[in-house]
Amino acid sequence: MSIKASKILETFPNPTTDRDYVIHMRMPEFTCLCPKTGQPDFATLFLEYIPDQLCVELKSLKGYIWSYRDTGAFHEAVTNQILTDLVTACQPRFMRLRAEFNVRGGIYTDVVVEHRAPHWTPPTPVHLP
């Protein structure tokens, strides 16, 4: 894949819009800069969503993640920003983003953010034994 750092998130049509199905993505290579000290910060991102009409395209997602490499960003703010951008791009029925940041000062921090579409109702989960 020839990929570039880019804020543009591309999408493709959801091949099965008549089902509420789930796409999980794990991205262990997120890095940005601490806005106070300029030092690199590292995190693993966990994305899971139920697509509506559009799916997130893998290659552009990698470029989007890459675009934070030289950006100063607080943990709480950057996690909210990425979710907002992903929601804007693909308008999912539901989306959750978890960012697990590497330890700083002996403290481990994760941030979890969710979006759900206004008129969408989650299907009752089936718990199998």
97 is in an annotated binding site: no
Report the residue number, 9 or 111, with the smaller CB distance to its own copies: 111
Query: Nearest CA to 57 among 119, 3, 118, 112?
Result: 3
58 is in an annotated binding site: yes
Contact positions vs its own copies (CB under 8 A): 1-4, 14-16, 19-29, 31, 37-40, 42, 48, 50-51, 55, 58-59, 61-62, 66, 69, 74-77, 79-80, 94, 96, 98, 102-116, 122-129
Shortest Cβ 24–Ca ion spacing (Å): 5
Q: Of 18, 32, 41, 85, which residue is the catalytic one?
A: 41
- Those residues with Cβ within 8 angstroms of residue 18's Cβ, 6 or more apart along the chain or in another chain: none
Which does residue 7 bind out of its own copies, Ca ion, none, counting CB within 5 to 8 angstroms by kind? Answer: none
C-alpha distances (whole Å) from 120 to each of 6, 44, 72 are 31, 28, 35
Which does residue 118 bind out of Ca ion, its own copies, none, counting CB within 5 to 8 angstroms by kind? Answer: none
- Those residues with Cβ within 8 angstroms of residue 30's Cβ, 6 or more apart along the chain or in another chain: 42, 43, 44, 45, 65, 68, 99
